[in-house]
Structure 1
Amino acid sequence: MSHSAAQPSPPPVRRVAFLGLGVMGYPMAGHLAKVGLEVTVYNRTASKAEQWASEYGGRVARTPREAAEGADLVLACVGNDDDLRSITLGDESAFAGMAPGTVFVDHTTASADVARELADIATQQGLYFIDAPVSGGQSGAQNGKLTIMCGGESPIFERTSSVLQHYAAAVTLIGPVGAGQLAKMVNQICIAGMVQGLSEAINFGQLAGLDMDRVLQVIGKGAAASWQMDNRGKTMIDGKFDYGFAVDWMRKDLGFCLEEARRNGASMPVTALVDQFYAEVQALGGSRFDTSSLIMRLRALKPGS
Protein backbone atom coordinates (compact mmCIF):
# COMPACT_ATOMS: atom_id res chain seq x y z
CA MET A 1 0.00 0.00 0.00
CA SER A 2 1.45 3.39 -0.93
CA HIS A 3 1.32 6.37 1.42
CA SER A 4 1.39 9.98 0.26
CA ALA A 5 4.03 12.31 1.66
CA ALA A 6 1.26 14.15 3.52
CA GLN A 7 0.24 10.96 5.31
CA PRO A 8 3.29 9.13 6.60
CA SER A 9 2.87 5.51 7.57
CA PRO A 10 2.06 5.18 11.29
CA PRO A 11 4.68 3.37 13.36
CA PRO A 12 4.20 -0.40 13.56
CA VAL A 13 2.03 -1.73 16.35
CA ARG A 14 4.15 -3.07 19.21
CA ARG A 15 2.09 -2.46 22.35
CA VAL A 16 -1.54 -3.54 22.49
CA ALA A 17 -4.24 -3.55 25.14
CA PHE A 18 -6.88 -6.28 25.18
CA LEU A 19 -10.04 -5.72 27.23
CA GLY A 20 -12.24 -8.72 28.02
CA LEU A 21 -10.90 -12.24 28.51
CA GLY A 22 -13.95 -14.44 28.02
CA VAL A 23 -14.06 -17.65 25.98
CA MET A 24 -13.18 -15.63 22.86
CA GLY A 25 -10.97 -12.83 24.18
CA TYR A 26 -8.70 -15.06 26.28
CA PRO A 27 -7.25 -17.04 23.34
CA MET A 28 -7.36 -14.02 20.98
CA ALA A 29 -5.15 -12.00 23.33
CA GLY A 30 -2.97 -15.09 23.68
CA HIS A 31 -2.26 -15.16 19.94
CA LEU A 32 -1.02 -11.56 20.11
CA ALA A 33 1.36 -12.42 22.97
CA LYS A 34 2.64 -15.48 21.10
CA VAL A 35 3.76 -13.38 18.11
CA GLY A 36 5.80 -11.12 20.37
CA LEU A 37 3.55 -8.09 20.85
CA GLU A 38 3.59 -6.44 24.28
CA VAL A 39 0.09 -7.16 25.57
CA THR A 40 -1.61 -5.52 28.54
CA VAL A 41 -4.90 -7.15 29.54
CA TYR A 42 -7.90 -5.99 31.50
CA ASN A 43 -10.78 -8.17 32.67
CA ARG A 44 -13.71 -7.31 34.95
CA THR A 45 -12.89 -10.40 37.03
CA ALA A 46 -9.24 -9.67 37.82
CA SER A 47 -8.34 -13.31 38.61
CA LYS A 48 -8.94 -14.23 34.94
CA ALA A 49 -6.46 -11.53 33.87
CA GLU A 50 -3.90 -12.83 36.40
CA GLN A 51 -4.39 -16.35 35.04
CA TRP A 52 -3.90 -15.09 31.46
CA ALA A 53 -0.68 -13.25 32.40
CA SER A 54 0.73 -16.31 34.14
CA GLU A 55 0.08 -18.31 30.96
CA TYR A 56 1.19 -15.81 28.31
CA GLY A 57 3.28 -13.15 30.06
CA GLY A 58 2.25 -9.56 29.53
CA ARG A 59 0.86 -7.10 32.02
CA VAL A 60 -2.38 -6.91 33.98
CA ALA A 61 -4.14 -3.55 34.26
CA ARG A 62 -6.64 -2.71 37.00
CA THR A 63 -8.79 -0.46 34.80
CA PRO A 64 -9.48 -0.11 31.05
CA ARG A 65 -7.81 3.32 31.23
CA GLU A 66 -4.61 1.86 32.67
CA ALA A 67 -4.59 -0.85 30.00
CA ALA A 68 -5.01 1.67 27.19
CA GLU A 69 -2.31 4.10 28.34
CA GLY A 70 0.68 3.85 26.01
CA ALA A 71 -0.98 1.26 23.74
CA ASP A 72 -0.55 1.55 19.96
CA LEU A 73 -3.84 -0.32 19.52
CA VAL A 74 -6.70 -1.13 21.90
CA LEU A 75 -8.87 -4.21 21.31
CA ALA A 76 -11.97 -5.37 23.16
CA CYS A 77 -14.25 -8.40 23.29
CA VAL A 78 -16.94 -8.06 25.96
CA GLY A 79 -20.56 -9.17 26.39
CA ASN A 80 -22.99 -6.55 25.13
CA ASP A 81 -23.68 -2.85 24.48
CA ASP A 82 -23.68 -1.91 28.17
CA ASP A 83 -20.41 -3.76 28.83
CA LEU A 84 -18.90 -1.96 25.87
CA ARG A 85 -20.00 1.46 27.11
CA SER A 86 -18.62 0.66 30.56
CA ILE A 87 -15.09 0.06 29.22
CA THR A 88 -15.06 3.00 26.76
CA LEU A 89 -16.88 5.85 28.54
CA GLY A 90 -16.00 7.50 31.85
CA ASP A 91 -12.91 8.57 33.79
CA GLU A 92 -11.39 5.07 34.12
CA SER A 93 -12.28 3.95 30.60
CA ALA A 94 -10.14 3.03 27.61
CA PHE A 95 -11.03 6.21 25.69
CA ALA A 96 -9.77 8.27 28.68
CA GLY A 97 -6.38 6.53 28.52
CA MET A 98 -5.84 6.39 24.76
CA ALA A 99 -3.42 8.78 23.04
CA PRO A 100 -4.88 10.88 20.18
CA GLY A 101 -4.78 9.00 16.87
CA THR A 102 -5.03 5.55 18.53
CA VAL A 103 -7.49 3.00 17.14
CA PHE A 104 -10.06 1.13 19.23
CA VAL A 105 -11.15 -2.19 17.66
CA ASP A 106 -14.30 -3.73 19.10
CA HIS A 107 -14.79 -7.48 18.64
CA THR A 108 -17.98 -7.60 20.73
CA THR A 109 -21.13 -8.66 18.92
CA ALA A 110 -23.15 -5.54 19.71
CA SER A 111 -25.71 -3.30 18.03
CA ALA A 112 -24.85 -1.19 14.99
CA ASP A 113 -26.20 1.76 17.01
CA VAL A 114 -23.62 1.47 19.78
CA ALA A 115 -20.84 1.16 17.18
CA ARG A 116 -21.92 4.45 15.58
CA GLU A 117 -22.41 6.12 18.97
CA LEU A 118 -18.93 5.18 20.19
CA ALA A 119 -17.33 6.05 16.83
CA ASP A 120 -18.78 9.58 17.12
CA ILE A 121 -17.45 9.97 20.66
CA ALA A 122 -14.06 8.59 19.61
CA THR A 123 -13.87 11.09 16.74
CA GLN A 124 -14.62 13.97 19.12
CA GLN A 125 -11.68 12.79 21.27
CA GLY A 126 -9.28 12.44 18.32
CA LEU A 127 -9.50 8.63 18.36
CA TYR A 128 -10.57 6.06 15.75
CA PHE A 129 -13.12 3.26 16.12
CA ILE A 130 -13.67 0.04 14.18
CA ASP A 131 -16.48 -2.43 14.85
CA ALA A 132 -15.09 -5.89 14.16
CA PRO A 133 -17.39 -8.69 15.34
CA VAL A 134 -16.11 -12.21 14.82
CA SER A 135 -17.51 -15.56 13.72
CA GLY A 136 -15.98 -18.99 14.24
CA GLY A 137 -16.76 -19.68 17.87
CA GLN A 138 -14.46 -20.72 20.68
CA SER A 139 -12.57 -23.20 18.48
CA GLY A 140 -12.01 -20.47 15.87
CA ALA A 141 -10.55 -18.20 18.55
CA GLN A 142 -8.32 -20.93 19.97
CA ASN A 143 -7.06 -21.99 16.52
CA GLY A 144 -6.62 -18.43 15.25
CA LYS A 145 -9.14 -19.03 12.44
CA LEU A 146 -11.84 -16.44 13.09
CA THR A 147 -13.75 -14.58 10.39
CA ILE A 148 -13.75 -10.85 11.20
CA MET A 149 -16.26 -8.42 9.67
CA CYS A 150 -15.20 -4.80 10.03
CA GLY A 151 -16.88 -1.41 9.82
CA GLY A 152 -14.80 1.74 9.61
CA GLU A 153 -12.63 3.93 7.42
CA SER A 154 -10.35 2.17 4.96
CA PRO A 155 -7.01 3.80 6.04
CA ILE A 156 -7.75 2.98 9.69
CA PHE A 157 -8.71 -0.59 8.80
CA GLU A 158 -5.40 -0.95 6.92
CA ARG A 159 -3.52 0.11 10.05
CA THR A 160 -5.13 -2.60 12.17
CA SER A 161 -5.81 -5.57 9.89
CA SER A 162 -2.29 -7.00 10.11
CA VAL A 163 -2.70 -7.33 13.89
CA LEU A 164 -6.12 -8.95 13.57
CA GLN A 165 -4.67 -11.50 11.13
CA HIS A 166 -2.89 -13.12 14.09
CA TYR A 167 -6.16 -14.76 15.16
CA ALA A 168 -8.12 -14.74 11.90
CA ALA A 169 -8.58 -16.76 8.75
CA ALA A 170 -10.22 -13.73 7.08
CA VAL A 171 -10.39 -10.03 7.96
CA THR A 172 -12.66 -7.99 5.70
CA LEU A 173 -13.75 -4.34 5.63
CA ILE A 174 -17.49 -4.44 4.88
CA GLY A 175 -18.25 -0.72 4.91
CA PRO A 176 -18.50 2.30 7.24
CA VAL A 177 -18.81 2.03 11.04
CA GLY A 178 -21.74 -0.26 11.93
CA ALA A 179 -21.37 -2.38 8.78
CA GLY A 180 -19.36 -5.00 10.67
CA GLN A 181 -22.18 -5.47 13.18
CA LEU A 182 -24.79 -5.60 10.41
CA ALA A 183 -22.75 -8.28 8.60
CA LYS A 184 -22.58 -10.29 11.84
CA MET A 185 -26.38 -10.06 12.04
CA VAL A 186 -26.58 -11.54 8.52
CA ASN A 187 -24.30 -14.34 9.77
CA GLN A 188 -26.53 -15.09 12.78
CA ILE A 189 -29.71 -15.06 10.66
CA CYS A 190 -28.14 -17.68 8.38
CA ILE A 191 -27.11 -19.83 11.34
CA ALA A 192 -30.53 -19.66 13.03
CA GLY A 193 -32.35 -21.09 10.01
CA MET A 194 -29.59 -23.61 9.33
CA VAL A 195 -29.58 -25.06 12.87
CA GLN A 196 -33.38 -25.30 12.94
CA GLY A 197 -33.38 -27.14 9.59
CA LEU A 198 -30.67 -29.52 10.79
CA SER A 199 -32.56 -30.12 14.05
CA GLU A 200 -35.77 -30.98 12.22
CA ALA A 201 -33.91 -33.24 9.78
CA ILE A 202 -32.06 -35.21 12.47
CA ASN A 203 -35.18 -35.55 14.62
CA PHE A 204 -37.23 -36.68 11.60
CA GLY A 205 -34.59 -39.24 10.60
CA GLN A 206 -34.32 -40.66 14.11
CA LEU A 207 -38.11 -41.03 14.42
CA ALA A 208 -38.09 -42.73 11.00
CA GLY A 209 -35.60 -45.27 12.36
CA LEU A 210 -32.63 -44.23 10.21
CA ASP A 211 -28.94 -44.50 11.16
CA MET A 212 -28.46 -40.74 11.22
CA ASP A 213 -24.65 -40.88 11.45
CA ARG A 214 -24.70 -42.73 8.15
CA VAL A 215 -27.33 -40.41 6.62
CA LEU A 216 -25.32 -37.27 7.48
CA GLN A 217 -22.19 -38.87 6.07
CA VAL A 218 -23.98 -39.30 2.75
CA ILE A 219 -25.91 -36.03 2.49
CA GLY A 220 -22.93 -34.11 3.86
CA LYS A 221 -21.24 -34.70 0.51
CA GLY A 222 -24.12 -33.10 -1.40
CA ALA A 223 -26.20 -29.93 -1.57
CA ALA A 224 -27.32 -30.18 2.08
CA ALA A 225 -23.74 -29.85 3.35
CA SER A 226 -22.97 -27.04 5.83
CA TRP A 227 -20.52 -26.06 8.56
CA GLN A 228 -23.24 -26.82 11.10
CA MET A 229 -23.76 -30.32 9.72
CA ASP A 230 -20.02 -31.04 9.61
CA ASN A 231 -19.29 -29.69 13.09
CA ARG A 232 -22.54 -30.20 15.05
CA GLY A 233 -24.48 -32.97 13.25
CA LYS A 234 -22.89 -35.88 15.13
CA THR A 235 -23.07 -34.13 18.53
CA MET A 236 -26.74 -33.26 17.93
CA ILE A 237 -27.46 -36.92 17.20
CA ASP A 238 -25.69 -37.82 20.46
CA GLY A 239 -27.45 -35.07 22.46
CA LYS A 240 -24.21 -33.33 23.46
CA PHE A 241 -24.41 -29.54 23.61
CA ASP A 242 -21.30 -28.24 25.36
CA TYR A 243 -19.45 -26.95 22.30
CA GLY A 244 -19.20 -23.20 22.63
CA PHE A 245 -21.61 -20.47 21.61
CA ALA A 246 -24.38 -20.39 24.24
CA VAL A 247 -28.11 -20.09 23.62
CA ASP A 248 -28.22 -16.97 25.85
CA TRP A 249 -25.73 -15.24 23.54
CA MET A 250 -27.59 -16.33 20.41
CA ARG A 251 -30.81 -14.83 21.76
CA LYS A 252 -28.97 -11.57 22.45
CA ASP A 253 -27.69 -11.56 18.86
CA LEU A 254 -31.06 -12.47 17.33
CA GLY A 255 -32.55 -9.62 19.37
CA PHE A 256 -30.22 -7.22 17.53
CA CYS A 257 -31.25 -8.80 14.21
CA LEU A 258 -34.98 -8.49 14.87
CA GLU A 259 -34.63 -4.92 16.17
CA GLU A 260 -32.67 -3.89 13.06
CA ALA A 261 -35.25 -5.67 10.84
CA ARG A 262 -38.06 -3.66 12.43
CA ARG A 263 -36.12 -0.55 11.49
CA ASN A 264 -35.18 -1.47 7.91
CA GLY A 265 -38.39 -3.30 7.03
CA ALA A 266 -36.84 -6.73 6.41
CA SER A 267 -39.24 -9.66 6.75
CA MET A 268 -37.74 -12.37 8.98
CA PRO A 269 -40.44 -14.91 9.86
CA VAL A 270 -38.03 -17.84 10.27
CA THR A 271 -35.59 -15.87 12.44
CA ALA A 272 -38.41 -14.65 14.69
CA LEU A 273 -39.70 -18.20 15.06
CA VAL A 274 -36.28 -19.67 15.81
CA ASP A 275 -35.70 -16.95 18.43
CA GLN A 276 -38.88 -18.18 20.18
CA PHE A 277 -37.68 -21.78 19.86
CA TYR A 278 -34.46 -20.76 21.60
CA ALA A 279 -36.59 -19.25 24.38
CA GLU A 280 -38.15 -22.71 24.80
CA VAL A 281 -34.67 -24.26 25.02
CA GLN A 282 -33.84 -21.74 27.76
CA ALA A 283 -37.02 -22.82 29.59
CA LEU A 284 -35.86 -26.45 29.29
CA GLY A 285 -32.64 -25.48 31.12
CA GLY A 286 -30.46 -25.06 28.06
CA SER A 287 -29.37 -21.42 28.52
CA ARG A 288 -25.67 -22.31 28.57
CA PHE A 289 -25.85 -25.12 26.01
CA ASP A 290 -24.51 -24.33 22.55
CA THR A 291 -26.84 -23.27 19.75
CA SER A 292 -27.20 -26.80 18.35
CA SER A 293 -29.34 -27.60 21.42
CA LEU A 294 -32.30 -26.32 19.38
CA ILE A 295 -33.03 -30.01 18.75
CA MET A 296 -33.85 -30.43 22.49
CA ARG A 297 -37.30 -28.90 22.11
CA LEU A 298 -38.16 -31.29 19.26
CA ARG A 299 -37.21 -34.28 21.38
CA ALA A 300 -39.40 -32.89 24.17
CA LEU A 301 -42.31 -32.88 21.69
CA LYS A 302 -42.09 -36.58 20.68
CA PRO A 303 -45.42 -38.38 20.17
CA GLY A 304 -46.81 -39.71 23.40
CA SER A 305 -44.48 -37.62 25.59
Structure 2
Amino acid sequence: MKVAFIGLGVMGFPMAGHLQNNGHQVTVYNRTAAKAQQWVEEYKGEMADTPAKAATDAEIVFTCVGNDDDLRSVVLGDTGVFSGMRAGAILVDHTTASAEVARELNDVAAEQNLGFLDAPVSGGQAGAENGVLSVMIGGEQAVFDKINPVIAAYSKAAELMGPAGSGQLAKMVNQICIAGLVQGLSEGIHFAKRAGLDVKKLCSVIQHGAAGSWQMVNRHETMVENEFDFGFAVDWMRKDLNITLDEARKNGAQLPVTALVDQFYAEVQKSGGSRWDTSSLIHRLERDS
Protein backbone atom coordinates (compact mmCIF):
# COMPACT_ATOMS: atom_id res chain seq x y z
CA MET A 1 0.00 0.00 0.00
CA LYS A 2 0.98 3.62 -0.43
CA VAL A 3 1.23 5.08 3.08
CA ALA A 4 2.61 8.14 4.85
CA PHE A 5 4.20 8.39 8.28
CA ILE A 6 4.32 11.73 10.11
CA GLY A 7 6.70 12.01 13.07
CA LEU A 8 10.00 10.15 13.25
CA GLY A 9 10.83 10.15 16.94
CA VAL A 10 12.14 7.17 18.88
CA MET A 11 8.88 5.36 18.17
CA GLY A 12 7.92 6.60 14.71
CA PHE A 13 11.31 6.08 13.10
CA PRO A 14 11.39 2.27 13.52
CA MET A 15 7.61 1.91 13.04
CA ALA A 16 7.81 3.59 9.63
CA GLY A 17 10.81 1.39 8.88
CA HIS A 18 8.82 -1.77 9.57
CA LEU A 19 6.14 -0.60 7.14
CA GLN A 20 8.73 -0.02 4.42
CA ASN A 21 10.42 -3.36 5.11
CA ASN A 22 7.05 -5.10 4.81
CA GLY A 23 6.62 -3.94 1.24
CA HIS A 24 4.60 -0.76 1.65
CA GLN A 25 5.50 2.43 -0.20
CA VAL A 26 6.24 4.85 2.63
CA THR A 27 6.61 8.63 2.41
CA VAL A 28 7.72 10.29 5.65
CA TYR A 29 7.57 13.77 7.08
CA ASN A 30 9.39 15.04 10.15
CA ARG A 31 9.58 18.58 11.52
CA THR A 32 13.37 18.25 11.51
CA ALA A 33 14.09 17.42 7.88
CA ALA A 34 17.49 15.89 8.69
CA LYS A 35 15.74 13.10 10.59
CA ALA A 36 13.54 12.37 7.58
CA GLN A 37 16.61 12.30 5.36
CA GLN A 38 18.29 9.88 7.77
CA TRP A 39 15.23 7.63 7.59
CA VAL A 40 15.26 7.67 3.77
CA GLU A 41 18.94 6.78 3.71
CA GLU A 42 18.29 3.82 6.02
CA TYR A 43 15.04 2.49 4.59
CA LYS A 44 15.01 3.77 0.96
CA GLY A 45 11.52 5.30 1.15
CA GLU A 46 10.59 8.87 0.25
CA MET A 47 10.26 12.12 2.18
CA ALA A 48 8.10 15.22 1.80
CA ASP A 49 8.49 18.77 3.06
CA THR A 50 4.96 19.12 4.47
CA PRO A 51 2.50 16.69 6.07
CA ALA A 52 0.02 17.43 3.29
CA LYS A 53 2.47 16.47 0.57
CA ALA A 54 3.40 13.28 2.40
CA ALA A 55 -0.29 12.37 2.61
CA THR A 56 -1.02 12.96 -1.07
CA ASP A 57 -2.39 9.75 -2.65
CA ALA A 58 -1.70 7.76 0.53
CA GLU A 59 -4.26 5.10 1.43
CA ILE A 60 -3.27 5.29 5.10
CA VAL A 61 -1.54 8.14 6.94
CA PHE A 62 0.10 7.43 10.30
CA THR A 63 0.95 10.13 12.84
CA CYS A 64 3.13 9.78 15.93
CA VAL A 65 3.96 13.15 17.49
CA GLY A 66 4.23 14.69 20.94
CA ASN A 67 0.90 16.00 22.24
CA ASP A 68 -2.49 17.45 21.33
CA ASP A 69 -1.08 20.69 19.93
CA ASP A 70 1.58 18.88 17.89
CA LEU A 71 -1.10 16.59 16.52
CA ARG A 72 -3.37 19.45 15.48
CA SER A 73 -0.43 21.20 13.82
CA VAL A 74 0.36 18.25 11.52
CA VAL A 75 -3.25 17.29 10.79
CA LEU A 76 -5.18 20.53 10.41
CA GLY A 77 -4.56 23.64 8.30
CA ASP A 78 -3.30 24.24 4.78
CA THR A 79 -0.23 22.03 5.20
CA GLY A 80 -1.82 19.41 7.45
CA VAL A 81 -2.44 15.84 6.38
CA PHE A 82 -6.20 16.32 6.09
CA SER A 83 -5.65 18.86 3.32
CA GLY A 84 -3.60 16.32 1.33
CA MET A 85 -5.61 13.15 1.93
CA ARG A 86 -7.98 11.83 -0.70
CA ALA A 87 -11.55 10.79 0.07
CA GLY A 88 -11.70 7.33 1.63
CA ALA A 89 -8.16 7.44 3.03
CA ILE A 90 -7.56 6.66 6.71
CA LEU A 91 -5.64 8.55 9.38
CA VAL A 92 -4.21 6.34 12.13
CA ASP A 93 -2.90 8.40 15.04
CA HIS A 94 -0.34 6.69 17.28
CA THR A 95 0.25 9.78 19.44
CA THR A 96 -0.53 9.44 23.12
CA ALA A 97 -2.93 12.36 23.40
CA SER A 98 -6.29 13.23 24.92
CA ALA A 99 -9.54 11.49 24.11
CA GLU A 100 -10.91 14.96 23.40
CA VAL A 101 -8.57 15.65 20.49
CA ALA A 102 -9.25 12.16 19.11
CA ARG A 103 -12.98 12.88 19.00
CA GLU A 104 -12.31 16.30 17.49
CA LEU A 105 -10.23 14.90 14.64
CA ASN A 106 -12.68 12.06 14.11
CA ASP A 107 -15.45 14.62 13.54
CA VAL A 108 -13.36 16.59 11.05
CA ALA A 109 -12.37 13.39 9.25
CA ALA A 110 -16.02 12.35 8.91
CA GLU A 111 -16.87 15.71 7.34
CA GLN A 112 -14.18 15.12 4.73
CA ASN A 113 -15.12 11.49 4.03
CA LEU A 114 -11.96 10.22 5.71
CA GLY A 115 -11.46 7.38 8.17
CA PHE A 116 -9.90 8.04 11.58
CA LEU A 117 -8.54 5.83 14.36
CA ASP A 118 -6.85 6.89 17.59
CA ALA A 119 -4.28 4.17 18.19
CA PRO A 120 -1.78 4.87 20.98
CA VAL A 121 0.82 2.19 21.55
CA SER A 122 2.57 0.50 24.46
CA GLY A 123 5.90 -1.28 24.48
CA GLY A 124 8.38 1.58 24.42
CA GLN A 125 11.31 2.15 22.11
CA ALA A 126 12.36 -1.50 22.29
CA GLY A 127 8.88 -2.60 21.31
CA ALA A 128 8.89 -0.24 18.33
CA GLU A 129 12.33 -1.38 17.18
CA ASN A 130 11.43 -5.06 17.52
CA GLY A 131 7.99 -4.67 15.96
CA VAL A 132 6.09 -6.01 18.98
CA LEU A 133 3.99 -3.07 20.15
CA SER A 134 0.55 -3.34 21.71
CA VAL A 135 -1.98 -1.02 20.05
CA MET A 136 -5.18 0.23 21.68
CA ILE A 137 -7.60 1.58 19.09
CA GLY A 138 -10.69 3.75 19.00
CA GLY A 139 -12.92 4.10 15.93
CA GLU A 140 -15.16 2.15 13.61
CA GLN A 141 -14.88 -1.61 13.10
CA ALA A 142 -14.77 -1.38 9.29
CA VAL A 143 -11.87 1.08 9.41
CA PHE A 144 -10.02 -1.03 11.96
CA ASP A 145 -10.41 -4.11 9.76
CA LYS A 146 -8.69 -2.29 6.89
CA ILE A 147 -5.64 -1.18 8.84
CA ASN A 148 -5.16 -4.18 11.13
CA PRO A 149 -3.11 -6.25 8.63
CA VAL A 150 -0.91 -3.21 7.96
CA ILE A 151 -0.06 -2.34 11.56
CA ALA A 152 0.86 -5.99 12.10
CA ALA A 153 4.23 -4.89 10.69
CA TYR A 154 5.12 -3.41 14.07
CA SER A 155 2.59 -4.84 16.54
CA LYS A 156 2.04 -8.11 18.38
CA ALA A 157 -1.43 -7.17 19.62
CA ALA A 158 -4.05 -4.70 18.39
CA GLU A 159 -7.57 -4.39 19.74
CA LEU A 160 -10.50 -2.12 18.89
CA MET A 161 -11.65 -0.75 22.23
CA GLY A 162 -14.72 1.22 21.14
CA PRO A 163 -15.59 4.49 19.36
CA ALA A 164 -13.18 7.35 18.72
CA GLY A 165 -11.30 8.30 21.88
CA SER A 166 -11.44 4.79 23.31
CA GLY A 167 -7.87 4.04 22.29
CA GLN A 168 -6.63 7.04 24.25
CA LEU A 169 -8.74 6.06 27.26
CA ALA A 170 -7.25 2.56 27.13
CA LYS A 171 -3.73 4.02 27.01
CA MET A 172 -4.56 6.03 30.13
CA VAL A 173 -5.40 2.77 31.91
CA ASN A 174 -2.05 1.40 30.72
CA GLN A 175 -0.20 4.36 32.24
CA ILE A 176 -2.17 4.15 35.50
CA CYS A 177 -1.11 0.53 35.88
CA ILE A 178 2.52 1.23 35.00
CA ALA A 179 2.80 4.18 37.41
CA GLY A 180 1.76 2.13 40.42
CA LEU A 181 3.81 -0.87 39.34
CA VAL A 182 7.07 1.09 38.95
CA GLN A 183 6.60 2.76 42.32
CA GLY A 184 5.99 -0.63 43.93
CA LEU A 185 9.07 -2.10 42.26
CA SER A 186 11.15 0.89 43.37
CA GLU A 187 10.06 0.48 46.97
CA GLY A 188 10.66 -3.28 46.84
CA ILE A 189 14.22 -2.88 45.53
CA HIS A 190 14.91 -0.09 48.02
CA PHE A 191 13.67 -2.29 50.89
CA ALA A 192 15.70 -5.28 49.67
CA LYS A 193 18.90 -3.23 49.58
CA ARG A 194 18.31 -1.89 53.10
CA ALA A 195 17.63 -5.46 54.27
CA GLY A 196 20.95 -6.63 52.85
CA LEU A 197 19.50 -8.90 50.16
CA ASP A 198 21.10 -9.58 46.79
CA VAL A 199 18.56 -7.74 44.63
CA LYS A 200 19.54 -9.38 41.36
CA LYS A 201 19.29 -12.87 42.87
CA LEU A 202 16.01 -11.89 44.54
CA CYS A 203 14.41 -10.64 41.34
CA SER A 204 15.61 -13.67 39.40
CA VAL A 205 13.35 -15.70 41.71
CA ILE A 206 10.30 -13.52 42.35
CA GLN A 207 9.94 -12.45 38.71
CA HIS A 208 8.54 -15.92 38.04
CA GLY A 209 5.81 -15.52 40.67
CA ALA A 210 2.88 -13.19 41.27
CA ALA A 211 5.18 -10.16 41.69
CA GLY A 212 6.73 -10.60 38.26
CA SER A 213 6.35 -7.93 35.59
CA TRP A 214 7.97 -6.61 32.43
CA GLN A 215 9.43 -3.81 34.51
CA MET A 216 11.02 -6.21 36.96
CA VAL A 217 12.48 -8.43 34.25
CA ASN A 218 13.85 -5.58 32.14
CA ARG A 219 14.66 -2.84 34.64
CA HIS A 220 15.65 -4.25 38.05
CA GLU A 221 19.36 -4.51 37.22
CA THR A 222 19.62 -0.95 35.90
CA MET A 223 17.59 0.35 38.84
CA VAL A 224 20.09 -1.24 41.23
CA GLU A 225 22.94 0.43 39.32
CA ASN A 226 21.13 3.80 39.14
CA GLU A 227 21.25 3.75 35.34
CA PHE A 228 18.39 5.68 33.75
CA ASP A 229 19.74 7.13 30.49
CA PHE A 230 17.42 5.14 28.19
CA GLY A 231 13.80 4.17 27.68
CA PHE A 232 10.57 6.11 28.24
CA ALA A 233 11.42 9.55 29.63
CA VAL A 234 9.97 11.02 32.81
CA ASP A 235 8.82 14.10 30.86
CA TRP A 236 6.74 11.88 28.59
CA MET A 237 5.28 9.95 31.51
CA ARG A 238 4.24 13.14 33.27
CA LYS A 239 2.59 14.34 30.06
CA ASP A 240 0.64 11.09 29.89
CA LEU A 241 -0.29 11.14 33.58
CA ASN A 242 -1.50 14.74 33.34
CA ILE A 243 -3.78 13.75 30.46
CA THR A 244 -5.02 10.83 32.56
CA LEU A 245 -5.66 12.91 35.67
CA ASP A 246 -7.51 15.52 33.60
CA GLU A 247 -9.75 12.79 32.21
CA ALA A 248 -10.33 11.41 35.72
CA ARG A 249 -11.52 14.81 36.90
CA LYS A 250 -14.08 14.74 34.08
CA ASN A 251 -15.37 11.21 34.61
CA GLY A 252 -15.15 11.13 38.39
CA ALA A 253 -12.60 8.32 38.66
CA GLN A 254 -10.52 8.32 41.85
CA LEU A 255 -6.80 7.90 41.17
CA PRO A 256 -5.01 8.61 44.46
CA VAL A 257 -1.96 6.44 43.73
CA THR A 258 -1.59 7.79 40.20
CA ALA A 259 -1.74 11.38 41.48
CA LEU A 260 0.86 10.58 44.13
CA VAL A 261 3.23 8.91 41.66
CA ASP A 262 2.84 11.89 39.32
CA GLN A 263 4.15 14.11 42.12
CA PHE A 264 7.03 11.69 42.70
CA TYR A 265 7.93 12.06 39.03
CA ALA A 266 7.82 15.83 39.50
CA GLU A 267 10.47 15.40 42.20
CA VAL A 268 12.61 13.39 39.78
CA GLN A 269 12.29 16.20 37.24
CA LYS A 270 13.45 18.73 39.83
CA SER A 271 16.45 16.48 40.51
CA GLY A 272 17.50 16.81 36.87
CA GLY A 273 15.89 13.58 35.68
CA SER A 274 13.49 14.92 33.07
CA ARG A 275 14.97 12.67 30.39
CA TRP A 276 15.67 9.69 32.62
CA ASP A 277 13.78 6.44 32.15
CA THR A 278 10.61 6.11 34.22
CA SER A 279 12.33 3.49 36.39
CA SER A 280 14.17 6.44 37.95
CA LEU A 281 11.41 6.64 40.58
CA ILE A 282 13.83 4.69 42.75
CA HIS A 283 16.24 7.66 42.67
CA ARG A 284 14.08 9.69 45.05
CA LEU A 285 14.21 6.82 47.57
CA GLU A 286 17.93 6.24 47.21
CA ARG A 287 19.27 9.77 46.94
CA ASP A 288 19.54 10.25 50.71
CA SER A 289 20.65 6.70 51.44
Partners of 1:19 and 1:153 in 2: how far apart? 22
Partners of 1:264 and 1:70 in 2: how far apart? 39
> Please, what TM-score do these two structures have when normalized by structure 2?
0.99
Aligned to 2:270: 283
Aligned to 2:282: 295
Aligned to 2:70: 83
Aligned residue for 2:152, secondary structure, equals: helix
Aligned to 1:214: 201
1:147-296 → structure 2 map (5 Å cutoff): 147-296=134-283
Aligned to 2:98: 111
One-letter amino acid of the structure 2 residue matched with residue 52 of structure 1: W
Aligned to 1:146: 133
Percent of residue pairs identical: 63
Q: Output one character per residue of 1:191-244: Cα deviation in whole Å (capped at 9) or x when no partner.
A: 000000000010111111111111111111211111110111111111111231
One-letter amino acid of the structure 1 residue matched with residue 156 of structure 2: A
Aligned-pair distance for 1:72? 0.9
| Matching residue within 89, 94, 111 for 2:81 | 94
One-letter amino acid of the structure 2 residue matched with residue 293 of structure 1: S
Aligned to 1:7: none
Aligned residue for 1:166, secondary structure, equals: coil
> Please, what TM-score do these two structures have when normalized by structure 1?
0.94
Aligned residue for 2:104, secondary structure, equals: helix
One-letter amino acid of the structure 1 residue matched with residue 148 of structure 2: S
Q: Output one character per residue of 1:281-303: Cα deviation in whole Å (capped at 9) or x when no partner.
A: 0011100011000101011243x
Q: Which runs of 5+ in 2 are unaligned?
A: none
Q: Output one character per residue of 1:66-85: Cα deviation in whole Å (capped at 9) or x when no partner.
A: 00001011001000000000
Q: Output one character per residue of 1:159-218: Cα deviation in whole Å (capped at 9) or x when no partner.
A: 111111100000110110000000000000000000000000101111111111111111
| Matching residue within 45, 48, 51 for 1:61 | 48
Partners of 2:116 and 2:60 in 1: how far apart? 11
The total of aligned residue pairs comes to: 289
Partners of 1:267 and 1:106 in 2: how far apart? 28
Q: Output one character per residue of 1:109-166: Cα deviation in whole Å (capped at 9) or x when no partner.
A: 0000000001001111111110000000000000000000000000010011111110
Aligned to 2:113: 126
Partners of 1:160 and 1:287 in 2: how far apart? 35
Q: Output one character per residue of 1:29-58: Cα deviation in whole Å (capped at 9) or x when no partner.
A: 000110111100000000000000000011
Q: Output one character per residue of 1:3-37: Cα deviation in whole Å (capped at 9) or x when no partner.
A: xxxxxxxxxxx100000000000000000110111
Aligned residue for 2:265, secondary structure, equals: helix
Partners of 1:33 and 1:154 in 2: how far apart? 25
One-letter amino acid of the structure 1 residue matched with residue 172 of structure 2: M
Partners of 1:301 and 1:190 in 2: how far apart? 27
